[in-house]
Amino acid sequence: MEGIEFQHVVKRFDTGVEALHDVSLSIAPGSLTFLTGHSGAGKSTFLKLLLGLQTPTRGRVLVNGVDIGRLRRRQLPHYRRHLGAVFQDDHLLPRRTVSANVAVPLQVAGMKAREAERRVRAALDAVELLDKAHLLPGHLSAGERQRVVIARAVANRPRLLLADEPTGNLDPALSESVMGLFDRFVEVGTTVIVATHEIDLVRTLGRRMVALDHGRVVDDTWASDAAGHV
């Protein structure tokens, strides 16, 4: 099956904490889905399972029909090259310039310098940071660093974009602009999953919203209809 499918997924850590409990849902390719819920609801675990950083204790996580939990160690890098990941703590390399940071996934993909440069410029242009390409991350504000991470995540034109609280460090106007950016990626066929607690912002976009609470799916609706479980 094309797209993403969680089949009765359970994730239990060694400490006994159950981050996800029997989660089953499907996400269509080329769609934008918001995961909402309190801190500890299981949003990050959901994304980490999709990234292949964790494996489910029970159940299956299928992407285009392939069980991600069963991918071998040497197969995971190939899978991840088609993903873009954005986390709240920016994960930028402090000694590399903004453009060098954005170029990292392109280097991993073995892209030629000229093509990589073109993609970096396009990605930085999309997040309105082209004029800061030569700066080090330390010279940027928290919001700007977050946008650099988004540029890095989309530079390689991922098929699946995963974002964990991407607007946590941004002011409301910028948050709206970033969410709008995700909307644009969907238009070019990228599947986007965003974990966020900013339900008001999500509602304005009128997209699918899956609410998690203590590892269970408690609501799965279009954002504009949501009753507000957060």
Which residues bind to other proteins, rule: CB under 8 A?
A: 51, 53, 63-64, 66, 68, 71-83, 85, 91, 93, 104-105, 107-113, 152, 156, 159
Q: Which long-range contacts (CB under 8 A, 24 or more apart) does 23-29 make?
A: 23/59, 23/212, 23/215, 23/216, 23/217, 24/59, 24/217, 25/210, 25/217, 25/220, 26/1, 27/3, 27/191, 27/193, 28/2, 28/3, 28/191, 29/2, 29/3, 29/4, 29/64, 29/189, 29/191
Contact assessment for residue 99 and residue 107, using Cβ atoms and an 8 Å cutoff: no
Nearer to other proteins, 153 or 209 (CB): 153
Q: How far is the CB of 51 from other proteins (least distance, A)?
A: 7
Q: How far is the CB of 84 from other proteins (least distance, A)?
A: 8
Nearer to other proteins, 115 or 225 (CB): 115
Q: How far is the CB of 218 from other proteins (least distance, A)?
A: 29
Q: How far is the CB of 142 from other proteins (least distance, A)?
A: 17
The count of other CB atoms within 10 Å of the CB of residue 153 is: 22
Nearer to other proteins, 63 or 133 (CB): 63
Nearer to other proteins, 186 or 199 (CB): 186
